[in-house]
Structures are given as structure tokens and as C-alpha cells.
Amino acid sequence: MRILIVEDEAGIVSFLKQGLEEEGFVVESASDGQTGLQLALTEHYDLLLLDWMLPKLSGIELCRSFREQESHTPVIFLTAKDTVQDTITGLKSGANDYIKKPFHFEELLERIRVQLRSSETPHVLTLGPITVNTETHEVQIGITPVSLTHKEFQLLEYLLRHKGKVCKRHHILDSVWGMDGNADSGVIDVYINALRKKLNLQREEDYIQTIRGVGYIAREK
């Protein structure tokens, strides 16, 4: 999960960054509104943490501009202000929640979790140039669409959901084929083969690698 912090006080940024990274988030930050907006629009984040008062572009303006493009990504305000009118303005600009400084880190964390709860399982998986959208069931290699059968799709999804980890044949059979402890008939090989062909992966720099005697692994680069 990727989080963007836009905040000008370096101390707060490093405090948040450390805490959130410990929780397993990937954190990036910007110290003024303008670069923050730019990042928010060009990169992909799962959540934005915005300070209220920012150099160049205020948090509210940032939020409003961002919402014109993106309506999904949750936004949480960090605010020192606490007049009612201000928070209302903030929520009206399209924010999903706000938290008043000073706050306990745990409380922030819980609020982040609440916001992310809906987007817990990513629908778009990637591997190098390959994109798998589990919502639309579309697979693309680069820009060109690839048509996969259901089993091929399921296998690819499984591999990508475990990207960077070895997928034992046993486990693949379990989750994709639903065979509990059944014998290995060699189906997997056939489908791996089909995938490599359809996605035309060269053997040289193979995104789907064979781990002899164990299974397969989807790896970047």
C-alpha cells in the first residue's frame, strides 16, 4: 500500500514515515502543495495524507484539484485548525476524513485502515509489462490486450498475487485447481507453457521462472 504525505514540517514527516513504514506501507512525501499535487496525479497512491497549511498550494486546494481527476483514492487531512467551519470546508473539498494535531499515531493508523478497508485487495496486478485487471478480467502486455482462458487467468493471478514468492506446485493445484493433495498430473506445466507463449516471455529474462523440483515464481526483471 502506497501513501503520499504532503506536509512541510520535516519532523512530522519523518515521524509519520517511520511509523507507517514499520506498518508495511510504502511512503513518499512532498513538502509543498504544488509538488504534492503533481505527485498525486502522476504516481499511484492508495491514500493521501495532507497537511492543511502548505506552501504554494493549500491542502484544500490540492484536494479539490486532485478530486477533479481522481475520485476514488481516499484523502485524510492533518489539521491544526479546529474550528468547525474549517473542518467542514475540508470535508466539502472532497476529503474522506481528518485528524486534529496533535494526534496519537495509533489513532491515525486506525483511520487509515478504515479508509483502506474497501481497497484491501488490489484489482490491478502487474508484472513487468504485464497488467492483470481482475475487475474487468483484462490482461495487457504493454498496451496490447491478450486474451486468456479462465484457467490461464486464474493461474496468472495466483502467481502475481504471490509475486516474488515461490509458488509450490502443490499450492497452485490447491488454489487454482481445487485439488487437495491430489496427484500432480502435469496440468500446471501445460498452463505455464500456454502463459509464457501468450505473453511471449523469452526464456532469457523470464518473468515467470521455473524452480526445479518446487514450482514457479513470478519475479520482476
Partner DNA sequence: TTTTGTTCATGCGTATTCTGATTGTTGAAG
Partner DNA sequence: CTTCAACAATCAGAATACGCATGAACAAAA
* Contact footprint for DNA (CB under 7 A): 147, 149-152, 169, 177, 185-187, 189-193, 196-197, 210-215
Burial of 83 (0-12, 13-18, 19+ CB in 10 A): exposed
Count of residues engaged in binding its own copies, rule: CB under 8 A: 31
- Residues 6/51, Cβ–Cβ less than 8 Å: yes
Q: Give the shortest CB-189-to-DNA separation in angstroms.
A: 4
- Give the 3-state secondary structure percentages of the chain, helix then strand then coil, rounded to 5: 40, 25, 35
Q: Give the shortest CB-36-to-its own copies separation in angstroms.
A: 22
Q: Give the residue carrying C-alpha cell 481445487.
A: 178
Applying CB under 8 A, which of residues 135, 180, 204, 220 lies at the interface with its own copies?
Answer: 135
Amino acid at 216: Y
Asked if residue 114 binds its own copies (CB under 8 A), the reply is yes
- Cα distance between the two ends of the chain: 21
Asked if residue 110 binds its own copies (CB under 8 A), the reply is yes
Q: Which stretch binds its own copies (CB under 8 A): 6-14, 31-39, 52-60, 143-151?
A: 143-151
Site string for its own copies, 61-100 (x = CB under 8 A): -----------------------xx-xx--xx---xx---
Q: Give the shortest CB-166-to-DNA separation in angstroms.
A: 11
Q: Whole-angstrom Cα distance, residue 216 to residue 219? A: 10
